[in-house]
Amino acid sequence: MSLNKEQRKVTSKELIDHFKASHLSEETIADALNVTTKDIHKALNMEAPNGLMRNRLMDFIHLVWDVRDFINKEIKEQGNEPIEYTYLKVNKENYSFLQGRGN
């Protein structure tokens, strides 16, 4: 799944809106996912690494899905239902290129 510039902008806004609704901190998410707060900030803002660095790009894509899932889980634990994302609709397990990486 490849997102163009406008789709990344929409996804970033949705991630940030969900992040705010979750009342989580970047530190909490970073600790849970064993990454840095800088990594979380970049994921929320869809600041992908250069496409020439394929492994780093794949790790970034996977992190975006992990962040989405972590935030959505927190929203659900608060008794709410997260609003559906425009582009990150299904589970990451539905994408073969995300299989076997990370969580």
Predicted TM-score (pTM) of this structure:
0.86
In a domain, residue 103? The reply is no
Q: How many CB atoms lie within 10 A of CB 37?
A: 14
- Using the predicted structure, report yes or no on whether residue 3 has a pLDDT greater than 90: no
pLDDT by residue (tens digit) across 26-85?
999 999 999 999 999 999 999 988 766 667 888 998 999 999 999 999 999 999 999 999
- Using the predicted structure, report yes or no on whether residue 17 has a pLDDT greater than 80: yes
Q: How many CB atoms lie within 10 A of CB 29?
A: 23
* Range of the structural domain that residue 90 is part of: 5-98
Tell me how far apart the alpha carbons of residues 47 and 32 are, in angstroms, rounded to a whole number. Answer: 20
User: Which whole number is the average pLDDT over 89-98?
Assistant: 63
Which residue in this structure is represented by tokens 């634990």?
77
In a domain, residue 62? The reply is yes
Domain count, the chain: 1
The answer to whether 32 and 70 are in contact (CB under 8 A) is yes
